[in-house]
Structure 1
Amino acid sequence: MRKLSYGMNVTLDGYIAAPGDDIGWSGPPSEELFQWWLETERANTLSLYGRKLWETMSSYWPTGDQQPGATAAEIEFARVWRDTPKVVFSSTLGTVGWNSRLVASDAVEEITRLKAEEGGPMSIGGATLAAAALRAGLIDEYVLATYPVLVGAGTPFFTALEGWMDLDLVESRTFPGGVVLTRYEARR
Protein backbone atom coordinates (compact mmCIF):
# COMPACT_ATOMS: atom_id res chain seq x y z
CA MET A 1 0.00 0.00 0.00
CA ARG A 2 1.29 3.47 -0.91
CA LYS A 3 1.87 6.18 1.69
CA LEU A 4 -0.12 9.42 1.31
CA SER A 5 1.24 12.71 2.75
CA TYR A 6 -0.52 16.05 3.12
CA GLY A 7 1.86 18.96 3.54
CA MET A 8 1.61 22.72 3.15
CA ASN A 9 2.93 26.01 4.45
CA VAL A 10 0.56 27.12 7.22
CA THR A 11 0.06 30.12 9.48
CA LEU A 12 0.41 29.75 13.25
CA ASP A 13 -3.39 29.98 13.49
CA GLY A 14 -3.80 27.09 11.05
CA TYR A 15 -4.55 28.61 7.64
CA ILE A 16 -2.97 27.74 4.29
CA ALA A 17 -4.39 30.92 2.74
CA ALA A 18 -5.71 34.16 4.18
CA PRO A 19 -9.05 35.57 2.96
CA GLY A 20 -9.12 36.03 -0.80
CA ASP A 21 -6.76 33.04 -1.26
CA ASP A 22 -3.88 35.30 -0.23
CA ILE A 23 -0.65 33.36 0.42
CA GLY A 24 1.55 36.45 0.58
CA TRP A 25 2.11 35.88 4.31
CA SER A 26 4.55 33.07 3.49
CA GLY A 27 6.82 35.20 1.30
CA PRO A 28 9.68 33.44 -0.43
CA PRO A 29 10.84 30.51 1.70
CA SER A 30 14.38 30.35 3.04
CA GLU A 31 16.87 28.40 0.93
CA GLU A 32 16.90 25.66 3.58
CA LEU A 33 13.11 25.28 3.65
CA PHE A 34 12.88 25.33 -0.13
CA GLN A 35 15.57 22.63 -0.27
CA TRP A 36 13.56 20.54 2.23
CA TRP A 37 10.44 20.82 0.04
CA LEU A 38 12.55 19.94 -3.04
CA GLU A 39 13.87 16.77 -1.36
CA THR A 40 10.31 15.86 -0.37
CA GLU A 41 9.12 16.38 -3.95
CA ARG A 42 11.99 14.25 -5.28
CA ALA A 43 10.89 11.34 -3.09
CA ASN A 44 7.28 11.67 -4.24
CA THR A 45 6.11 9.38 -7.06
CA LEU A 46 2.61 10.80 -7.61
CA SER A 47 1.05 14.17 -6.75
CA LEU A 48 -2.68 14.59 -6.17
CA TYR A 49 -4.07 18.10 -6.63
CA GLY A 50 -7.35 19.84 -6.06
CA ARG A 51 -8.31 22.44 -8.67
CA LYS A 52 -7.18 25.60 -6.85
CA LEU A 53 -3.74 24.31 -5.92
CA TRP A 54 -3.34 22.84 -9.40
CA GLU A 55 -4.07 26.23 -10.94
CA THR A 56 -1.52 27.88 -8.64
CA MET A 57 1.22 25.31 -9.28
CA SER A 58 0.61 24.95 -13.02
CA SER A 59 0.66 28.72 -13.51
CA TYR A 60 4.31 28.87 -12.41
CA TRP A 61 6.25 25.60 -12.22
CA PRO A 62 6.08 24.43 -15.85
CA THR A 63 8.46 27.31 -16.66
CA GLY A 64 9.80 28.06 -13.18
CA ASP A 65 13.29 27.10 -14.32
CA GLN A 66 13.17 29.82 -16.99
CA GLN A 67 12.27 32.68 -14.63
CA PRO A 68 14.85 35.47 -14.24
CA GLY A 69 17.00 34.84 -11.19
CA ALA A 70 15.84 31.23 -10.70
CA THR A 71 18.10 29.48 -8.21
CA ALA A 72 19.59 26.04 -8.80
CA ALA A 73 17.02 24.60 -6.37
CA GLU A 74 14.13 26.32 -8.19
CA ILE A 75 15.41 25.03 -11.53
CA GLU A 76 15.55 21.52 -10.10
CA PHE A 77 12.12 21.84 -8.47
CA ALA A 78 10.59 22.86 -11.82
CA ARG A 79 12.16 19.81 -13.49
CA VAL A 80 11.01 17.45 -10.75
CA TRP A 81 7.51 19.00 -10.76
CA ARG A 82 7.17 18.53 -14.53
CA ASP A 83 8.47 14.94 -14.40
CA THR A 84 6.33 13.75 -11.48
CA PRO A 85 3.02 12.19 -12.57
CA LYS A 86 0.04 14.14 -11.29
CA VAL A 87 -3.69 13.50 -10.84
CA VAL A 88 -5.90 16.59 -10.80
CA PHE A 89 -9.35 16.29 -9.24
CA SER A 90 -11.85 18.74 -10.67
CA SER A 91 -15.36 18.75 -12.07
CA THR A 92 -14.86 22.17 -13.71
CA LEU A 93 -11.55 21.88 -15.58
CA GLY A 94 -11.69 20.54 -19.12
CA THR A 95 -8.04 19.54 -19.57
CA VAL A 96 -4.76 19.47 -17.68
CA GLY A 97 -1.19 19.25 -18.94
CA TRP A 98 2.27 18.71 -17.60
CA ASN A 99 2.31 14.94 -17.08
CA SER A 100 -1.14 15.02 -15.48
CA ARG A 101 -4.48 13.36 -15.83
CA LEU A 102 -7.86 14.73 -14.87
CA VAL A 103 -10.35 12.92 -12.63
CA ALA A 104 -13.86 14.32 -12.38
CA SER A 105 -15.41 11.35 -10.57
CA ASP A 106 -15.40 10.41 -6.87
CA ALA A 107 -12.07 11.58 -5.42
CA VAL A 108 -12.15 9.30 -2.37
CA GLU A 109 -12.76 6.25 -4.54
CA GLU A 110 -9.86 7.15 -6.86
CA ILE A 111 -7.46 7.96 -4.01
CA THR A 112 -8.37 4.66 -2.33
CA ARG A 113 -7.60 2.85 -5.59
CA LEU A 114 -4.27 4.67 -6.03
CA LYS A 115 -3.21 3.92 -2.43
CA ALA A 116 -3.87 0.22 -2.96
CA GLU A 117 -1.51 0.10 -5.95
CA GLU A 118 2.14 -0.84 -5.71
CA GLY A 119 4.43 2.16 -5.81
CA GLY A 120 6.19 4.87 -3.93
CA PRO A 121 4.87 7.69 -1.79
CA MET A 122 2.14 10.08 -2.94
CA SER A 123 1.36 13.62 -1.86
CA ILE A 124 -1.98 15.38 -1.71
CA GLY A 125 -2.53 19.12 -1.89
CA GLY A 126 -5.47 21.44 -1.82
CA ALA A 127 -7.67 22.02 1.20
CA THR A 128 -10.91 20.61 -0.19
CA LEU A 129 -9.34 17.49 -1.68
CA ALA A 130 -7.24 16.82 1.43
CA ALA A 131 -10.31 17.29 3.66
CA ALA A 132 -12.14 14.54 1.76
CA ALA A 133 -9.13 12.21 2.06
CA LEU A 134 -8.73 13.10 5.75
CA ARG A 135 -12.39 12.29 6.55
CA ALA A 136 -11.99 8.98 4.70
CA GLY A 137 -8.90 8.09 6.78
CA LEU A 138 -6.61 7.97 3.73
CA ILE A 139 -3.82 10.32 4.86
CA ASP A 140 -0.83 8.67 6.51
CA GLU A 141 1.36 11.71 7.19
CA TYR A 142 0.81 15.43 7.87
CA VAL A 143 3.56 17.97 7.20
CA LEU A 144 3.18 21.54 8.42
CA ALA A 145 5.70 24.30 7.73
CA THR A 146 4.31 26.75 10.29
CA TYR A 147 5.09 30.43 9.74
CA PRO A 148 5.10 32.87 12.66
CA VAL A 149 2.13 34.87 11.40
CA LEU A 150 -1.54 35.10 12.35
CA VAL A 151 -4.09 35.89 9.62
CA GLY A 152 -7.34 35.37 11.57
CA ALA A 153 -9.36 33.69 8.83
CA GLY A 154 -9.05 32.01 5.46
CA THR A 155 -8.63 28.45 4.23
CA PRO A 156 -7.80 26.08 7.10
CA PHE A 157 -5.21 23.32 6.81
CA PHE A 158 -7.53 21.03 8.77
CA THR A 159 -11.29 20.95 8.41
CA ALA A 160 -13.77 19.85 11.05
CA LEU A 161 -13.46 16.19 11.96
CA GLU A 162 -16.11 13.84 13.26
CA GLY A 163 -13.79 12.79 16.08
CA TRP A 164 -10.22 13.11 17.19
CA MET A 165 -7.26 11.45 15.51
CA ASP A 166 -4.08 10.44 17.33
CA LEU A 167 -0.80 11.34 15.63
CA ASP A 168 2.85 10.58 16.32
CA LEU A 169 5.47 13.30 15.87
CA VAL A 170 8.23 11.97 13.58
CA GLU A 171 10.17 15.18 12.83
CA SER A 172 10.46 18.70 14.18
CA ARG A 173 12.84 21.26 12.77
CA THR A 174 13.27 25.02 12.80
CA PHE A 175 14.16 26.98 9.66
CA PRO A 176 15.31 30.60 9.21
CA GLY A 177 12.62 33.19 9.77
CA GLY A 178 11.11 31.21 12.64
CA VAL A 179 9.39 28.63 10.40
CA VAL A 180 8.87 25.37 12.29
CA LEU A 181 8.44 22.19 10.29
CA THR A 182 6.61 19.32 11.95
CA ARG A 183 5.78 15.91 10.49
CA TYR A 184 3.22 13.62 12.06
CA GLU A 185 2.14 10.10 11.19
CA ALA A 186 -1.41 8.93 11.72
CA ARG A 187 -1.69 6.26 14.39
CA ARG A 188 -3.46 3.26 12.91
Structure 2
Amino acid sequence: MSLVFSALASVDGYTVDTSGSFDWAAPDEEVHAAVNARERGIGTYLYGRRMFETMRVWQDMGGDGAPDVIREYADIWRSADKIVYSSSLTGVTTPRTTIEPVFDPSAVRALVEAAPGDVSIGGPTLAAEAFRAGLVDEVVLYLVPVSVGGGTSALPTDLMLSLDLQEEHAFPSGTVMLRYRVTAPAA
Protein backbone atom coordinates (compact mmCIF):
# COMPACT_ATOMS: atom_id res chain seq x y z
CA MET A 1 0.00 0.00 0.00
CA SER A 2 0.99 3.64 -0.35
CA LEU A 3 1.17 6.75 1.79
CA VAL A 4 -0.52 9.46 -0.27
CA PHE A 5 -0.36 13.22 0.23
CA SER A 6 -3.23 14.96 -1.52
CA ALA A 7 -4.08 18.67 -1.49
CA LEU A 8 -6.05 21.38 -3.19
CA ALA A 9 -3.59 24.18 -3.87
CA SER A 10 -3.30 27.47 -5.71
CA VAL A 11 -1.21 27.46 -8.88
CA ASP A 12 1.52 29.18 -6.88
CA GLY A 13 1.55 26.24 -4.46
CA TYR A 14 -0.39 27.28 -1.35
CA THR A 15 -3.12 25.38 0.51
CA VAL A 16 -4.29 28.49 2.37
CA ASP A 17 -3.65 32.15 1.64
CA THR A 18 -1.94 34.68 3.92
CA SER A 19 -5.16 35.18 5.92
CA GLY A 20 -5.57 31.42 6.43
CA SER A 21 -8.51 31.19 4.03
CA PHE A 22 -9.02 28.41 1.52
CA ASP A 23 -12.46 29.49 0.26
CA TRP A 24 -10.90 29.99 -3.17
CA ALA A 25 -10.16 26.24 -3.32
CA ALA A 26 -13.75 24.95 -3.01
CA PRO A 27 -14.05 22.32 -5.74
CA ASP A 28 -16.91 22.32 -8.19
CA GLU A 29 -19.02 19.18 -8.55
CA GLU A 30 -16.81 17.60 -11.22
CA VAL A 31 -13.58 18.12 -9.27
CA HIS A 32 -15.26 16.94 -6.06
CA ALA A 33 -16.43 13.75 -7.82
CA ALA A 34 -12.85 13.10 -8.97
CA VAL A 35 -11.55 13.63 -5.43
CA ASN A 36 -14.21 11.22 -4.15
CA ALA A 37 -13.20 8.55 -6.68
CA ARG A 38 -9.58 8.80 -5.57
CA GLU A 39 -10.44 8.89 -1.84
CA ARG A 40 -12.59 5.73 -1.95
CA GLY A 41 -9.42 3.63 -1.65
CA ILE A 42 -8.27 5.37 1.55
CA GLY A 43 -8.65 3.27 4.70
CA THR A 44 -6.89 5.61 7.13
CA TYR A 45 -6.35 9.36 7.31
CA LEU A 46 -3.37 10.78 9.20
CA TYR A 47 -3.88 14.36 10.40
CA GLY A 48 -2.27 16.99 12.52
CA ARG A 49 -4.56 18.80 14.95
CA ARG A 50 -5.37 21.76 12.69
CA MET A 51 -6.19 19.62 9.66
CA PHE A 52 -8.34 17.30 11.78
CA GLU A 53 -10.23 20.29 13.18
CA THR A 54 -10.85 21.46 9.60
CA MET A 55 -11.93 18.02 8.36
CA ARG A 56 -14.12 16.91 11.26
CA VAL A 57 -17.05 18.89 9.83
CA TRP A 58 -17.50 15.91 7.50
CA GLN A 59 -18.78 13.90 10.45
CA ASP A 60 -22.04 15.90 10.32
CA MET A 61 -22.15 16.97 6.67
CA GLY A 62 -23.97 15.20 3.87
CA GLY A 63 -27.44 15.03 5.32
CA ASP A 64 -30.74 15.28 3.48
CA GLY A 65 -30.69 17.85 0.74
CA ALA A 66 -26.91 17.87 0.36
CA PRO A 67 -25.54 17.37 -3.16
CA ASP A 68 -24.59 13.79 -4.03
CA VAL A 69 -20.85 14.56 -4.11
CA ILE A 70 -21.03 16.02 -0.59
CA ARG A 71 -22.96 13.04 0.79
CA GLU A 72 -20.54 10.65 -0.90
CA TYR A 73 -17.43 12.33 0.51
CA ALA A 74 -18.97 12.49 3.98
CA ASP A 75 -19.60 8.72 3.80
CA ILE A 76 -16.02 8.10 2.63
CA TRP A 77 -14.61 10.21 5.45
CA ARG A 78 -16.80 8.68 8.15
CA SER A 79 -15.98 5.12 7.09
CA ALA A 80 -12.19 5.62 7.32
CA ASP A 81 -10.05 5.45 10.43
CA LYS A 82 -8.46 8.72 11.51
CA ILE A 83 -5.22 9.14 13.48
CA VAL A 84 -4.59 12.63 14.81
CA TYR A 85 -1.06 13.60 15.84
CA SER A 86 -1.36 16.17 18.60
CA SER A 87 0.19 16.89 21.95
CA SER A 88 -2.63 19.28 22.86
CA LEU A 89 -5.79 17.30 22.03
CA THR A 90 -6.97 15.14 24.90
CA GLY A 91 -10.05 13.69 23.25
CA VAL A 92 -11.93 13.60 19.98
CA THR A 93 -15.59 13.89 19.13
CA THR A 94 -15.63 11.67 16.05
CA PRO A 95 -15.82 7.88 15.84
CA ARG A 96 -12.97 5.82 14.40
CA THR A 97 -10.49 8.44 15.61
CA THR A 98 -7.42 7.99 17.80
CA ILE A 99 -4.89 10.49 19.06
CA GLU A 100 -1.15 9.96 19.01
CA PRO A 101 0.96 12.50 20.92
CA VAL A 102 3.90 12.36 18.47
CA PHE A 103 4.49 11.47 14.83
CA ASP A 104 6.57 8.28 14.86
CA PRO A 105 7.93 7.50 11.35
CA SER A 106 8.59 3.84 12.21
CA ALA A 107 5.01 3.34 13.41
CA VAL A 108 3.65 5.10 10.32
CA ARG A 109 5.80 2.93 8.04
CA ALA A 110 4.46 -0.20 9.77
CA LEU A 111 0.88 1.10 9.53
CA VAL A 112 1.19 1.73 5.78
CA GLU A 113 2.81 -1.67 5.15
CA ALA A 114 0.03 -3.47 7.06
CA ALA A 115 -2.89 -1.41 5.73
CA PRO A 116 -5.46 -3.10 3.50
CA GLY A 117 -5.80 0.15 1.50
CA ASP A 118 -3.87 3.31 0.89
CA VAL A 119 -3.18 5.66 3.79
CA SER A 120 -3.62 9.42 3.34
CA ILE A 121 -1.61 12.07 5.13
CA GLY A 122 -3.47 15.36 5.29
CA GLY A 123 -2.17 18.83 5.91
CA PRO A 124 1.14 20.21 4.69
CA THR A 125 2.72 20.56 8.14
CA LEU A 126 2.31 16.90 9.10
CA ALA A 127 3.03 15.79 5.54
CA ALA A 128 6.35 17.67 5.66
CA GLU A 129 7.43 15.40 8.53
CA ALA A 130 6.50 12.35 6.46
CA PHE A 131 8.32 13.72 3.40
CA ARG A 132 11.44 14.34 5.52
CA ALA A 133 11.26 10.74 6.81
CA GLY A 134 10.99 9.41 3.24
CA LEU A 135 7.54 7.93 3.86
CA VAL A 136 5.38 9.58 1.17
CA ASP A 137 4.90 7.41 -1.92
CA GLU A 138 2.52 9.55 -3.93
CA VAL A 139 1.56 13.22 -4.28
CA VAL A 140 -1.80 14.28 -5.74
CA LEU A 141 -2.26 18.01 -6.27
CA TYR A 142 -5.44 19.68 -7.48
CA LEU A 143 -4.17 23.04 -8.71
CA VAL A 144 -6.90 25.67 -8.58
CA PRO A 145 -6.63 28.48 -11.16
CA VAL A 146 -5.83 31.23 -8.70
CA SER A 147 -2.56 32.69 -7.43
CA VAL A 148 -2.79 33.75 -3.78
CA GLY A 149 0.71 35.18 -3.34
CA GLY A 150 1.59 33.49 -0.07
CA GLY A 151 0.30 31.41 2.80
CA THR A 152 0.97 27.80 3.73
CA SER A 153 2.95 25.95 1.08
CA ALA A 154 1.51 22.61 -0.04
CA LEU A 155 4.96 21.01 -0.26
CA PRO A 156 7.93 21.45 2.08
CA THR A 157 9.95 24.52 1.12
CA ASP A 158 13.18 23.23 2.66
CA LEU A 159 13.30 19.85 0.95
CA MET A 160 14.02 18.71 -2.59
CA LEU A 161 11.86 15.89 -3.92
CA SER A 162 12.12 14.07 -7.24
CA LEU A 163 8.70 13.30 -8.64
CA ASP A 164 7.60 11.20 -11.62
CA LEU A 165 4.34 12.32 -13.27
CA GLN A 166 1.88 9.42 -13.35
CA GLU A 167 -1.35 11.13 -14.33
CA GLU A 168 -2.75 14.53 -15.23
CA HIS A 169 -6.25 15.76 -15.87
CA ALA A 170 -7.56 19.23 -16.69
CA PHE A 171 -11.10 20.01 -15.62
CA PRO A 172 -13.37 22.49 -17.47
CA SER A 173 -13.19 24.77 -14.39
CA GLY A 174 -9.46 25.23 -14.97
CA THR A 175 -8.42 23.05 -12.02
CA VAL A 176 -5.68 20.58 -12.96
CA MET A 177 -5.05 17.29 -11.15
CA LEU A 178 -1.42 16.11 -11.13
CA ARG A 179 -0.50 12.73 -9.63
CA TYR A 180 3.17 12.00 -8.98
CA ARG A 181 5.13 9.06 -7.65
CA VAL A 182 7.92 10.13 -5.27
CA THR A 183 11.07 8.70 -6.85
CA ALA A 184 13.71 10.19 -4.59
CA PRO A 185 12.51 11.11 -1.11
CA ALA A 186 14.41 13.29 1.28
CA ALA A 187 17.99 12.30 1.89
With the length of structure 1 as denominator, give the TM-score of the two structures: 0.91
- 1:142 pairs with 2:139: yes
State how far apart, in whole Å, the 2-side matches of 1:185 and 1:88 are.
25
Using the alignment, how far apart are the partners of 1:89 and 1:51 within structure 2? 6
Name the % identity. 36
Q: Distance in 1 between matches of 2:44 and 2:36?
A: 14
Unaligned runs of 5+ in 1: none
The structure 1 segments of at least 4 consecutive aligned residues displaced by more than 4 Å after TM superposition are: none
* Residue in structure 2 matched with residue 128 of structure 1 by the alignment: 125
- Mean Cα deviation higher: 92-101 or 142-151: 92-101
Q: Quick one: which of 55, 61, 64 aligns to 1:64?
A: 61
**Contact 1:89–1:107 (CA<8 Å) still a contact in 2?**
no
Residues 113-140 of structure 1 show CA distances to partners (whole Å, capped at 9, x for unaligned) of 3123242211110111000000111000
Structure 2 runs not aligned, ≥5 long:
none
Given that 2:145 and 2:174 are in contact with CA atoms closer than 8 Å, whether structure 1 keeps it comes out as yes
> In structure 1, what is the Cα distance between the partners aligned to 2:115 and 2:43?
11
**Which segment drifts farther, 114-123 or 86-95?**
114-123
Number of residue pairs matched by the alignment: 183
Distance, in Å, in 2 between the alignment partners of 1:7 and 1:105 is 21
Q: 1:101, CA displacement in angstroms?
A: 0.7
Check whether the contact 2:166–2:181 (CA below 8 A) recurs between aligned residues: yes
Q: 1:107 to 1:155 in 2, by over 3 A?
A: farther
Q: Deviations over 1:84-118 (max 9, x none)?
A: 11111111111122211111123423312312324
Q: Structure 2: how far apart are the matches of 1:86 and 1:16?
A: 21
Distance 1:149 1:139 in 2: 26
In structure 2, C-alpha distance between the alignment counterparts of 1:21 and 1:30, rounded to whole Å? 21
**Matches of 2:127 and 2:77, distance apart in 1:** 19
How far apart, in 2, do the equivalents of 1:23 and 1:121 lie?
A: 26
The structure with the greater share of residues assigned to helix is: 1
Counterpart residue type for residue 43 of structure 1: G
| Matched residue type, 2:13 | G
Distance in 2, Cα, partners of 1:88 & 1:25? 26
The DSSP-based 3-state class of the residue aligned with 1:98 is coil
77-86 vs 130-139, which deviates more? 77-86
> Which of residues 79, 86, 89 is equivalent to 1:90?
86
What is the aligned-residue RMSD (CA, Å)?
Answer: 1.5
> What does 1:1-188 align with in structure 2 at a 5 Å threshold?
2-27=1-26, 29-58=27-56, 60-66=57-63, 69-96=65-92, 97-162=94-159, 164-187=160-183
